[in-house]
Amino acid sequence: MEVGQMQRQWLDYTRSLFIEGFLDGQFLQLEQLQDDNNPDFVVEVVSLFFQDSHKLLNDLTIALDQKSVDFKKIDAHVHQLKGSSSSIGAQRVKNCCIAFRNFCEEQNTDACLKCLHQVKQECCLVKNKLETLFRLEQQIMAAGGSIPMMELSF
Amino acid sequence: MWFKAPESCNCIEPQLPADELLVKYQYISDFFIALAYFSIPLELIYFVKKSAVFPYRWVLVQFGAFIVLCGATHLINLWTFTIHTRTVAMVMTAAKVLTAVVSCITALMLVHIIPDLLSVKTRELFLKNKAAELDREMGLIRTQEETGRHVRMLTHEIRSTLDRHTILKTTLIELGRTLALEECALWMPTRTGLELQLAYTLRQQNPVGYTVPIHLPVINQVFSSNRAVKISPNCPVARLRPHTGKYMPGEVVAVRVPLLNLSNFQIYDWPEVSTRSYALMVLMLPSDSARQWHVHELELVEVVADQVAVALSHAAILEESMRARNMLMEQNVALDLARREAETAIHARNDFLAVMNHEMRTPMHAIIALSSLLQETELTAEQRLMVETILKSSNLLATLINDVLDLSQLEDGSLQLETTTFSLHAVFREVLSLIKPVASVKKLSLTLHLASDLPAYAVGDDKRLMQTILNVVGNAVKFSKEGSISISAVVAKPDSFKDARIPEFHPVPSDSHFYLRVQVKDSGSGINPQDIPKLFTKFAQSQAVTTKGPAGSGLGLAICRRFVNLMEGHIWIESEGIGKGCTVTFIVRLGIPDRSNESKLAFAPKVLGNHVTTNFGGLKVLVMDDNGVNRSVTKGLLLHLGCDVTTAGSSEECLRIISPEHRMVFMDVCTGLDGYELAIRIQEKFKKRQDRPLIVALTGNTNKVTKENCMRVGMDGLILKPVSVDKMRGVLSELLEHRVLFEAI
């Protein structure tokens, strides 16, 4: 497959991610921050996010497993997760977190559990999507091409 | 005679007086014998002393003794003729005994010595023979050396010149001198190769044109061997002068001289080529001299003949190269002249065109403008028709003039393509929009197909490309009365270039260029395949066009071809025949715009961003956020803008590492009261306000309470998350300028 085709594939895939709501404008901001001084910025930040989120989700799972649920702590964790996800532009994760927080305020354990499950799913999904995207980028770079910039308006 | 003495008288009785004469003669003879006997050894001794090489001294001594004793004997004999005493007898006896002994010894010695002496003689003879032989050999060597010297001298003379005439003349002269010849002649083959002509002679100044046929047996004999051959003085080649001598004409020798034949000169065949031509060199010894050709003289002649051949070949090559050089120089001069004439012609034509361009266009414009204006006025139907015809014709004429001028520009290569980055799709869309009205009027269906792998943007001359496509499509429309026209554009693959139809086209693949292949198919009147080559010729009209059909200026396709060639491409037409439609295909080379070009046109101006970051070069800032991801993102943002960023993951860490060098502190205040506390602590740390870094809060909360709290604790700014690059840039500029920034919530 030649470079032009791969680039078009990358563009189409990225577009789909935005259209389906996996990513939002913040992700584009991240891409803008990637330059020659910082060539792997996006990959680094995204990896950091997934590490962080993994830990947070574990903590959340443990916390919600307790007999007496500490909603303050859960709220703090979810707040963290929300902050991180919004920083990288993982829109669906962020939305889930917002919903999660509401249920935390209501102190609704079952709903929280459901939310947690959903958040985990969303994290997984966005992780796969981003991994695919990064793989495509690597292929393009290996073939000697360069990553095209995304248009901001659609 | 021995007489015994009677008593002590030792006298011997004398003889009868009749024998006295006899006795006297004996006496005298004995005396002389003794004398001789005594003198011979003396002589021997004298001469031996003189010679000093005589090896047999001992023998001489013996001989001497023998002779002396013999002499003594004979001497003593003198006393025995008279009465002699006993003593004398005793002495005589003693002497005789001695003599006997010595002579026996000598006789015995001689047996050994005489063979030696004889052998000395034989050795002497042997040495004499040897000396004679050496003398002979030396004589031979000397002659050889002489010959060698002569050859060298001859060679030197012959090779010292490159002029053929001089070479040959010199050869003959030198040979004549060296060998003391009576006559020396050189026969060269004639042009026809069937005869030998007398070319040079030694003695005669101007040889009359003697010729001999080349196939004489004697000549064949000479030519067949590379040795000098003795020939009869009566053969035609040798009968050069009238026989002047009284007796025998001198011996004649002939040798062949190989000639270089330039038309079949082969370096690697030298000297074995069999179809060579030879010249004949004839040498005559003086008549009546009884001289004979010696072997060394023949060898000399052969060597000289070879040298002459070499020298002649050099001379021939030189002549040839001089001739070639002269020819080239003449050609050069002629070409130069032709070039200058051509240039003058081109200049003249260009001048003419330039003048005509201006002169022709001005009236044309006047006609077109005024006719258009006339059209706007009130006219009768008849007048309108007339004006329309005038306008149409003058438009046509203007087009023709433009075409001619374009073509002449194209022809003398003064047209240069402009290169810009343009959208391929746009070009095709525009062509389509221009042609659609005409096509729909003629009820022709027009379809455009652009391949999906066609680059959106290309680098090249879009105007001329459009002109070409328009021309081709326009032709298709013009010459089709019904049916459909399809236009297709694809990226040409390298294997499609191996088309038999375009044998001279050799595309060069590269990473920064691609080949665009456009094909326009129509179902119109078609073209006779025989007329196809003429289509691209200027001003040639195809006869197949019906009289009612539209007339073309005949230049369109020629111009298209010029444009296509300038774009390093190729254009060709195919048609099955009259009424079977026509397909025009062309391939052009366009550039692929690189990333910076692309971004310049359509996408986010990333390039611009890079220019402004230098404003914040090295601005020291501290980022405090306990969320690792957020921290990384903010850090990346500020790094991108050129700041020197330090990060802290907690308030304590922040307080630890903060220093007066930090101009700004960005802290996240989403996590409760920590941020406010930190702000207060920072302010406490830095007594003077000037040293203190600006404290800016980053928050996602959009309630007014957050803002009030920030203001209350004395923070210098508040920014809402999410922060984009541009926003941060603006924030930093604002903060640096005004030292305070509170975003409106």
pLDDT at B242: 63
The whole-angstrom distance between residue B731's C-alpha and the CA centroid of its chain comes to 70
- Nearest residue to B492 (alpha-carbon basis) of B418, B570, B573: B570
- Banded pLDDT at B330 (limits 50, 70, 90): very high
Q: What is the pLDDT of residues B155-189, one digit of tens each?
A: 887 778 778 888 888 888 888 888 888 888 888 88
CB B455 within 8 A of CB B424: yes
The whole-angstrom distance between residue B716's C-alpha and the CA centroid of its chain comes to 79
- Banded pLDDT at B338 (limits 50, 70, 90): very high
pLDDT above 90 covers a percentage of chain B that reads 7
Q: Check if A88 contacts B (Cβ < 8 Å).
A: yes
In this structure, the dihedral spanned by the alpha carbons of residues B289, B290, B291 and B294, taken in order and rounded to 10 degrees, is 170
**Rounded CA separation B313/A22 (Å):** 93
In chain A, the residue whose alpha carbon lies closest to the alpha carbon of B699 is A83
**Rounded CA separation A82/A60 (Å):** 13
Question: Residue written as tokens 């002393």?
Answer: B49
Q: Check if A39 contacts B (Cβ < 8 Å).
A: no
pLDDT at B14: 57
Question: Residue written as tokens 């196939």?
Answer: B215
**Rounded CA separation A34/A18 (Å):** 19
pLDDT at B744: 67
CB B698 within 8 A of CB B675: no
- Banded pLDDT at B336 (limits 50, 70, 90): very high
- Please tell me what DSSP assigns to residue B496: G
Q: What are phi and psi of B618, to 5 degrees?
A: 80, 10
pLDDT at B641: 83
In chain A, the residue whose alpha carbon lies closest to the alpha carbon of B456 is A4
* Lowest mean per-residue pLDDT among A117-131, B25-39, B541-555: B541-555
Identify the residue with better confidence: B64 or B329: B329
Residues of chain A neighbouring B700 (CB-CB closer than 8 A): 83, 86
Q: What are phi and psi of A52, to 5 degrees?
A: -55, -50
Q: What is the pLDDT of residues A21-80, one digit of tens each?
A: 888 888 888 888 887 777 888 888 899 999 999 999 999 899 888 888 888 888 888 988
pLDDT at B136: 94
Q: Which two tokens stand for residue A59?
A: 């903590």
| pLDDT over threshold 80, residue B700 | no
Q: Do B700 and A5 touch (CB under 8 A)?
A: no
Q: Do B453 and A5 touch (CB under 8 A)?
A: yes
pLDDT at B96: 86
What's the rounded mean pLDDT across residues B632-654?
86
Identify the residue with better confidence: B406 or B156: B156
Q: What ipTM goes with this model?
A: 0.84
Residues 113-152 of A with CB under 8 A from B: 146, 148-152
Q: Check if A41 contacts B (Cβ < 8 Å).
A: yes
Indicate which of A3, A130, A147, A149 best probes the interface with B, i.e. most B CBs within 10 Å of its own CB: A149
pLDDT at B454: 85
CA distance A66 to chain B (A): 24
Q: What is the pLDDT of residues A86-137, one digit of tens each?
A: 888 888 898 889 888 888 888 888 888 888 999 999 999 999 999 999 998 8
In chain B, the residue whose alpha carbon lies closest to the alpha carbon of A6 is B453
Q: Do A84 and B455 touch (CB under 8 A)?
A: no
Residues of chain B neighbouring A41 (CB-CB closer than 8 A): 636
A:B CB pairs within 8 Å: 84
pLDDT at A150: 64
What's the rounded mean pLDDT across residues B384-408?
79
- Nearest residue to B357 (alpha-carbon basis) of B405, B403, B322, B321: B405
- Banded pLDDT at B53 (limits 50, 70, 90): low
Q: Do A86 and B671 touch (CB under 8 A)?
A: no
What's the rounded mean pLDDT across residues B576-593?
86
DSSP bridge pairs for A90: A23
Q: Do B610 and A35 touch (CB under 8 A)?
A: yes
| pLDDT over threshold 80, residue B402 | no
What's the rounded mean pLDDT across residues B418-433?
84
**Rounded CA separation B232/B220 (Å):** 14
| pLDDT over threshold 60, residue B268 | no
Q: Which two tokens stand for residue A70?
A: 């500490």
Q: Which two tokens stand for residue A69?
A: 């649920």
**Rounded CA separation B51/B43 (Å):** 12
pLDDT at B612: 41
Residues of chain A neighbouring B637 (CB-CB closer than 8 A): 29, 33
* Lowest mean per-residue pLDDT among A116-125, B670-679, B730-739: B670-679
**Rounded CA separation B398/B553 (Å):** 11
CB A84 within 8 A of CB A49: yes
- Nearest residue to A27 (alpha-carbon basis) of A43, A7, A12, A38: A43
Q: Check if B309 contacts A (Cβ < 8 Å).
A: no
pLDDT at B208: 66
Among candidates A5, A30, A35 on the partner chain, residue whose Cβ is nearest the Cβ of B633:
A30
What's the rounded mean pLDDT across residues B653-659?
86
Identify the residue with better confidence: B319 or B52: B319
DSSP string covering B208-265, please? ---EEETT-HHHHHHHT-SS-EEE-TTSTTT--S---SSSPPPPEEEEEEEE--GGG-
The whole-angstrom distance between residue B39's C-alpha and the CA centroid of its chain comes to 99
Q: Check if B393 contacts A (Cβ < 8 Å).
A: no
User: pTM for this one?
Assistant: 0.35
pLDDT at B273: 47
Longest Cα–Cα distance of chain A, Å, equals 58
What's the rounded mean pLDDT across residues B618-624?
87
**Rounded CA separation B223/B93 (Å):** 96
DSSP bridge pairs for B620: B644
Q: Do B627 and A84 touch (CB under 8 A)?
A: yes
| pLDDT over threshold 90, residue B337 | yes
- Banded pLDDT at B139 (limits 50, 70, 90): very high
Q: What is the 3-state secondary structure (H, E, C) of B525-593?
A: CCCCHHHHHHHCCCCCCCCCCCCCCCCCCCCHHHHHHHHHHHCCCEEEEEECCCCCCEEEEEEEEEECC
CA distance B614 to chain A (A): 13
CA distance B719 to chain A (A): 14
| pLDDT over threshold 80, residue B261 | no
- Banded pLDDT at B126 (limits 50, 70, 90): very high
Residues of chain B neighbouring A76 (CB-CB closer than 8 A): 671
Q: Which two tokens stand for residue B317?
A: 């090559």
- Please tell me what DSSP assigns to residue A104: H
Identify the residue with better confidence: B245 or B736: B736
| pLDDT over threshold 70, residue B271 | no
The CA-atom distances, in angstroms, between B614 and each of B365, B639, B725, B731 are 56, 11, 14, 15
pLDDT at A120: 92
Q: Check if B595 contacts A (Cβ < 8 Å).
A: yes
Q: What is the 3-state secondary structure (H, E, C) of B84-96?
A: CCHHHHHHHHHHH
Highest mean pLDDT of the ranges B335-339, B375-379, B735-739: B335-339
Residues of chain A neighbouring B629 (CB-CB closer than 8 A): 45, 48-49, 52, 83-84, 87-88
What's the rounded mean pLDDT across residues B36-62?
76
**Rounded CA separation B298/B266 (Å):** 30
- Whole-number average pLDDT of chain B: 79
Highest mean pLDDT of the ranges B51-60, B135-144, B398-407, B723-732: B135-144
Indicate which of B457, B490, B624, B633 best probes the interface with A, i.e. most A CBs within 10 Å of its own CB: B633
**Rounded CA separation B239/B301 (Å):** 20
pLDDT at B137: 94
Q: Do A152 and B604 touch (CB under 8 A)?
A: yes
The CB-side HSE value for A112 (13 A sphere, CA atoms) comes to 26
**Rounded CA separation B90/B70 (Å):** 16
Q: What are phi and psi of B574, to 5 degrees?
A: -130, 140
- Nearest residue to B417 (alpha-carbon basis) of B517, B566, B597: B566
| pLDDT over threshold 60, residue B51 | yes
**Rounded CA separation B134/B45 (Å):** 37
Q: What is the pLDDT of residues B455-508, one digit of tens each?
A: 888 888 888 888 889 888 888 888 888 888 999 998 887 766 555 455 556 666
Give per-residue burial for B178-212: e unless 16+ CB within 10 Å, then b: bbebbbbbbbbbeeeeebbbbbbbbeeeebeebeb
